[in-house]
Amino acid sequence: MFGAFRATNSLSGGLLWKIPWRLSPTQKYRQRQRLKAVDNVVETLSTALAKKGETLKSLERWKYEMPTEAEMLAKDKYTIFDRKEKKYRKGIHKLPKWTRVSQRLNPPGY
């Protein structure tokens, strides 16, 4: 039961990564900072282009579709829709590369 040769999941099964069920408060804080950073980049681009009187389709579309960090619900900041989960939601940290991809929208009603 104890010692170097105890049968734990990781020892008997090889690779086992455990992802905690919920985000820690610090992870949530950093997630908000990342969302704000992306908002800042979009804001910088749009003001810079607006000064020249230019516009960009992808930029306009982003601004039209995507809520900013302040507009987002906590539910959408920290969780994502998953049809296989109980209550259809799981932590956003289960999303591969979650700190480097934008995932802001979820199906309406879920």
Partner 1 sequence: MSYFRITLHRSAIGLPARTRGVLAALGLHKRSQTVYHPVEAQFAGMIMKVKELVKVEEVERKLDKWEVKAERRPDSGFYLEKMAPRMEDEGQKVGSRVLARLRGEDESQVVEGVRREGGGEVRV
Which residues contact partner 1 (rule: CB under 8 A)?
34, 37-38, 40-42, 44-45, 47-49, 51-52, 54-56, 58-59, 62, 97, 99-102
CA 81 centroid distance within chain? 11
Cβ proximity to partner 1: between 40 and 85 the closer is 40
Please say which residue, 62 or 81, places its beta carbon nearer to partner 1. 62
User: What are residue 99's phi and psi, to 5 degrees?
Assistant: -85, -5
State the minimum distance, in angstroms, from the CB of residue 82 to partner 1.
21
Least separation in angstroms between residue 103's CB and partner 1 is 10
Nearer to partner 1, 70 or 101 (CB): 101
Three-state DSSP class for 42? helix
Contact call for residues 12 and 76 (beta carbons, < 8 A) = no
3-state helix, strand, coil in the chain (%, to 5): 50, 5, 45
